[in-house]
A and B are shown apart, each in its own frame.
Chain A
Amino acid sequence: MTAALTVTALEAGYEPGLPILRGASLNVRTGDIVAILGPNGAGKSTLIKAIAGLVPITAGRVHLGAQDITATPAHLMVRQGLGFVPQTENVFADLSVADNLDLAVAILKLAKKTRLAEIYALFPDLARQRRLMAGQLSGGQRQMLAVARALVVSPRVLMLDEPSAGLSPRLVALVFEKLVAIKRSGVTIILVEQNARAALAIADQAVILVEGKERLVGKARDLADDPQVAALYLGQAGGGRH
């Protein structure tokens, strides 16, 4: 299978001379869900933010398909087909649900009616609440809107930063169910998660990141079944909850 996204020896950080990523590499196959796991401070969120153009890259390359997007500004990444859902503050609270979705479509000059119809079919709750301000939505609904906002521009690769954070187990299950449905529509997904067990349950591949570099890469099922991996990197908190 071809690579949807390739990251090679990436070094990146928020402050000059203080890299968080120290040569991280990643090879994401088209159509896969890849879970990025690891302890706190491993650089998981920084990795996808750097890919999205939100954290300065000091070394290494990022390719989306065959295209080098290492130096592409964040707003142009969306046009290239890279979607990103931040962990928090991931909707425009003072805009309506409809405006949150319309804005991205209008900026990219996409066929509005078709795209919105597809999105509302996938997220029927949002269709019912399209006139509400995004800030009035519940945590779970906000997360759905955040995913829908990134999805409305038809990304090839969708990156999500801890989409389960702050959600109840029932809502986490619902969000992850949607991610599986999105994957089935042909979108490649990169998922940064603290809830490792839940992420591994839907992922095809997994990468365990430690100190800014990948420590383990493999099939999600294999990593989930490996007791040593579970003890060292997945933690007790993730065990057996989902």
Chain B
Amino acid sequence: MLQLLADGLIIGSVIALGAIGVTLTYALLRFANFGHGEFLTWGAYLALSALGGFLAMTGATSMSPIEPFSFGWPLLAALGIAAPLTALIALTLDWLLFARLRRHGNAIVLVIASFGAALALRNLLQFFYGAIPEYYSREIQIAIRFVPRDVMGGMRITPDQLFVLALAIVTVCVLHLFLTRTTLGKAMRATAMNPLLARVTGIDVEAVIRLTWIVGAMLGAVAGIFAGLTTQLRPQLGFDLLLPLFAAAILGGIGSVWGAVIGGLIVGLAESLAVPLVGAEYRAAMAFAVIIVILLVKPSGLFAKPRQ
């Protein structure tokens, strides 16, 4: 039981980071971006390329890990490169596709276009990287036992999983401070609340939209790298997480960053705790079940505030 909770929290933290991007994009641009999952995949693979680049520069064949983790500094540096590059992909996508469609003001067209963009991005990635699963590190990790086996089945967590959980918490806290304490963050929140009023307040809404893509895509990249670190890299990595991301964003209430975080953790826990009940093969269906339940019971989500 405790192990399932821990697993749920770890996958939930990855879902939460990805769901923040979904909820921010939806709140600001008023459309569900089904291409968001690809930011996770591209972020993860770009980090793999950056990692390969670092290793090639140093002449090493594999990364020396920072004990007790399976990865070393090169992966952290790769994260620092992959996140901005993923943001660049998001900005290019907006410039090429979404910004042009936005002028016509039809959300359905934008949603359908995001499906197309997702397909194009996924196939492009598969073209460059192939379909064979990849790993950042092949180091074997020994899970640390936190709770003995005789207490509710016990709990073991690998150092990498702990790192992912801790960094996800730090990232969310930094984002919270950014949104509540900085002028740019407040401008983002103001634009999401009321774009027209934001414009007459002197906020450059187009710049805020670009900032939203950057923040959402970078968080997506971090989530993708975390997913790759704790499991493996596959071209379907982001696509497989898309439903949980949307379930978390809808559950938390579209537009609410903390809602996306709580929603992500709940979806992660629901997926994990469902394993002994319905079997591992149906765990992915839990996100779908969460969406159905929340749409029936509280369609606005847990933390959504009424739109202006």
Binding site for B on A (CB under 8 A): 52-54, 73-75, 77-79, 83-84, 86, 89-95, 99, 102-104, 106-108, 149-150, 153
- Residue B231, interface by CB 8 Å: no
State whether the Cβ of B199 lies closer than 8 Å to any Cβ in chain A. yes
Report yes or no: A107 in contact with B194, Cβ–Cβ below 8 A.
no
Contact B305 A94 (CB under 8 A): yes
Docked Cα-Cα span, A77 to B205, in Å, equals: 13
Q: What bracket does the count of chain B residues touching chain A fall in?
A: 10 to 19
In whole Å, how far is B260's beta carbon from the nearest beta carbon of chain A? 16
B residues near A (Cβ < 8 Å) are: 183, 186-187, 189-190, 193-194, 196-205, 305, 308
B202 pairs with A92, CB closer than 8 A: no
Q: Are A90 and B197 in contact (CB under 8 A)?
A: yes
Contact of A92 among B193, B199, B204 (CB under 8 A): B193
Bound-state CA distance A127–B202 (Å) is: 22
Contact (Cβ within 8 A) A104 B201: yes
| B199 pairs with A99, CB closer than 8 A | no
A-B residue pairs in contact (CB < 8 Å), sample of 13: A54-B200, A75-B203, A75-B205, A77-B200, A78-B200, A89-B194, A90-B197, A92-B189, A92-B197, A93-B193, A94-B305, A103-B183, A107-B183
Cα-based distance from A107 to B126 in the complex (angstroms): 43
The interface residues of chain A lying within 8 Å CB-to-CB of B187 are: 103, 107
- Identify the closest chain A residue to B186 (Cβ): A103
Contacts of B308 in A (CB 8 A): 89, 92-93
A78 to B201, Cβ gap below 8 A?
yes
B200 pairs with A86, CB closer than 8 A: yes
Q: Are A74 and B199 in contact (CB under 8 A)?
A: yes
- Most chain B CB within 10 A, of A95, A103, A153, is at A103
With A and B bound together, what is the CA distance between A24 and B39 in angstroms? 49
Complex Cα distance, B200 from A153, in Å, reads 11
Q: Which residues of B contact A52 (CB under 8 A)?
A: 200
Could you tell me if A104 and B202 are in contact, using CB atoms closer than 8 angstroms? yes
